[in-house]
Amino acid sequence: MNNKPTGYNNRLGIKGWAYAGRYSMERYLYLGHRLSGLGLIAYMVLHIVETANRIRGEQAWAGLMALFASPPFKVIEYLLFIMAVFHAMNGIRLILIELGFFLGKPKEPVYPYSTSVLRHRPLTYIIMVLAGLLIIFGGSSMFFK
Amino acid sequence: MTTAPTTSRELTFRVRRFDPDTGSAPHWDSYTVNVAEGMTVLEALHQIKAEKEPTLAWRSSCRMGVCGSCGMFINDLPRLACQTQVLHLGTHVITVAPLPNYPNVKDLVPNLEPLIEKHAAIKPFIIHPNSQEVDEPTGEFLQIAEEREAFSQFTYCIKCGLCLAACPTVATDPLFLGPQALAQAYRYTADNRDCGVEERLESIDMFHGPYQCHMAGACSVACPKGVDPAFGIQLLKRTLVLDSIGFGKKKSSVAKVSPLADVVKAIEEFAPPPRTVSQ
Amino acid sequence: MRETRLWSLHLLAIPIIFVLLGMHLAIMHYAPVFYGMSVDKAREFGTMIERGKSVVQFVLYILLLIAGLYHGLYGLRGILRELPLTPTLIKVVDIGILTFGLLIFALGTYVTWWTFSFKAGG
């Protein structure tokens, strides 16, 4: 395949992940899913390394837990929680639609055209409302001792 | 969609210009056009070329939304210029740029070779177990209405390329097959006359295949013919996953050749498809 | 079918992570709600070791480690490979991510085993 056709390179690049035009909400859910995924994998690796501190003994562990109980870390924890809830709930939507569920059946296109994007919108709204509720009630963890 | 005003008005068209012969970077030029109701962006471009800027270049042909030539990035969405009513855009300034994610040949002309090459790569033709029958037919392949409806909407693709301009993966990955090719791959694998999943695997089951589609849905929003390529790609993923665990389409289930008498009988037995135009 | 299989595993990891991570969050962040103990107590060294001695806990943690690392690193590989890379960089990304994943898995498994076999005073 010819990878270098002629002409001025008009490819959007990484900017195109963030914004490429006035598309529907799902385009921004894709961006949010990507960003939250990156944040979560970075956190997961850090978390595995940080919890490995237990092998340094009880005192080292207690010091680490005291640090994580401080207010700034509680806020960071909550932000991570928001990312995890969004990624998980949107992920449920994606696993369902990427296997072809909730998208309707193929049929002759009749103008004005319906798209699978709009047909699964009710599922998207339900998922987002559930995510919102989890995020709101999940915030209670910031106040637990 | 805004209600179109009935009086004609002067609107500004901001058009992206690029001349490969000068070697300078693309820039924007503005033109005022007296726009009447019913005028499309394509007609406005013709007027600009006739009255103000004879060197303005773009690609167009049928001017009625069937050839797919006039794809442009108009007011932040990829659209067919002949199908875009200027007054329905609802803005005083209309920005017209070449389709993103394609090399820009000149002004508003995209180089659509990537689209065509990717389309060719997925083998966009019926692959039947009896290839001699395909080349030298002796009868018809039977296909009832339900079998046709399973993939029919994906046959309406006019290869305009708006979907690749919309896709976020195409924005960074030059090797990604793109919504058009992947939806066409589904069109053929879902066709009951086709058994080509194995033959197409090499070009589809690779990193730059359907799994780099993350259902942003922009391609389906952009598609001017209701093809809904995002839908085709998700169905393709389902087909491939089922195939990988042994539930794929069997070669024995592919449509066989039927003599004419059987075809007539099939037509008589099955009802015609439902009307799509109200009476 | 290689890419299809890799992606199918990525999807298979989702329900595993959903359940096991949910349980993990319940213990570590919502202990007062689900376990009737304070968060501080749930995170204490002693409580952690006690939890870690269960065979079920050991197996589930390793499973969560595998599922989480595979799902996350497959996603990261996808994001990096979608950038226009040279063939050399493609190899670097693929092999680098695989190696990194195996190392982190080894660390996580070692720590889980260390907790499981912890003897007080030694």
So what's the pLDDT on residue C71? 97
Is B71 in the same domain as B178?
A: no
Domain ranges of chain C: 2-116
Residue C65: left if φ>0, alpha if ψ -120 to 50, beta else—which one?
alpha
In a domain, A13, yes or no: no
pLDDT at B268: 78
Domains held by chain B: number: 2
- The pLDDT value recorded for residue B145 is 86
pLDDT at residue number B78: 97
Q: Tell me chain B's radius of gyration from C-alpha atoms.
A: 22
Chains in contact with A, counting 3 or more C-beta pairs less than 8 Å apart as contact: B, C
Please report, as a single letter, which amino acid is at residue A121.
R
Residue B2 in domain:
no
Class of domain C2-116: mainly alpha
CB contact under 8 A, B166 and A15: no
Higher-confidence position of B124 and A140 = B124
Q: What is the pLDDT of residues B28-86, one digit of tens each?
A: 999 999 999 999 999 999 999 999 999 999 999 999 999 999 999 999 999 999 999 99
Which CATH number belongs to the domain containing residue B55 in this structure?
Answer: 3.10.20.30
Q: Is B18's pLDDT higher than 60?
A: yes
- Are the beta carbons of C8 and B205 separated by less than 8 Å? no
pLDDT of residue A1: 44
* Mean pLDDT of the A106-110 span: 92
Q: Which of residues 14-33 of B touch A (CB under 8 A)?
A: 18, 20, 26
Task: Assess whether B124 and B50 both reside in one domain.
Answer: no
**Chain A environment of B174 (Cβ under 8 Å):** 3, 11
| Residue A124 lies in domain | 24-143
* pLDDT over threshold 60, residue B266: yes
Same domain, B126 and B260: yes
Look at residues B65, B88, B110 and tell me which one is the last residue of a structural domain. B110
Residue B201 has pLDDT above 90, yes or no: no
So what's the pLDDT on residue C102? 96
pLDDT digits (tens, 9 = 90+) for C60-90: 999 999 999 999 999 999 999 999 999 999 9
Q: Which residues of A touch C83 (CB under 8 A)?
A: 14
CB C3 within 8 A of CB B205: yes
Of the partner residues C4, C78, C82, the one whose CB lies closest to the CB of residue B244: C4
Element spanning B17, H or E: strand B9-17
User: Does residue A69 lie within any of the structural domains?
Assistant: yes
Confidence of residue B171 (pLDDT cuts 50, 70, 90): very high
**B202 belongs to a structural domain:** yes
CA distance A138 to chain B (A): 28
Q: What is the mean pLDDT of residues B160-168?
A: 96
pLDDT value at A117 more than 70: yes
Q: Please give the model's pTM, rounded to 2 decimal places.
A: 0.90
Note whether B35 and B130 are same-domain residues: no
Pick from C12, C17, C39 the residue to mutate for testing the A interface (most A CBs within 10 Å). C39
Q: Do A52 and C107 touch (CB under 8 A)?
A: yes
Task: Say what the pLDDT of residue B7 is.
Answer: 61
- Find chain C residues with C-beta within 8 A of B240's C-beta: 1, 4
Chain B residues in contact with C71 by the CB 8 A cut-off are: none
Parent domain of B137: 113-269
In a domain, A5, yes or no: no
Find out whether B127 and B249 touch, Cβ atoms under 8 Å: no
Over the stretch B225-250, which tens digit does the pLDDT of each residue have?
999 999 999 999 999 999 999 888 77
CATH number of the CATH domain containing B205: 1.10.1060.10
Average pLDDT, integer, range B97-126: 95
Domain annotation covers residue A124: yes
- B66 part of a folded domain: yes
Instruction: Report the residue of chain B nearest C76, measured CA to CA.
Output: B212
User: For chains B and C, what is the number of CB pairs under 8 angstroms?
Assistant: 38
**Co-location of B65 and B180 in the same domain:** no
DSSP state of A82: H
Q: Which is it for strands B140-141 and B257-258: parallel, antiparallel or unpaired?
A: antiparallel
Q: Where does a domain end: B66, B85, B110?
A: B110
Cβ contacts (< 8 Å) between A45 and chain C: which residues? Answer: 104
In a domain, A127, yes or no: yes
Candidates C118, B253, C43, B248; CA nearest to C35 is C43
Q: What residues in C contact B174, CB-CB < 8 Å?
A: 84
What is the structure's pLDDT at C28?
84
Query: In this predicted structure, what is the pLDDT of residue B6?
Result: 53
Given an 8 Å threshold on Cβ–Cβ distance, is C111 in contact with A41?
no
Domain assignment present for A43 = yes
Q: Return all residues near B73 (Cβ < 8 A) that are at least 6 apart.
A: A21, B79, B95, B96, B97, B98, B99, B100, B165
- CATH number of the structural domain spanning residue A39: 1.20.1300.10
Q: How far out from the chain centre does Cα B78 lie?
A: 11
Looking at the 3D structure of chain A, how many domains does it have? 1
What is d(CA B96, CA B93) in angstroms, rounded to the nearest whole number?
10
CB A109 within 8 A of CB B226: yes
Per-residue pLDDT tens over the stretch A61-105? 989 888 888 889 888 989 999 999 999 999 999 999 999 999 999
Residues B64 and B188 reside in one and the same domain = no
Which residue, of B110, B140, B167, is where some domain finishes?
B110
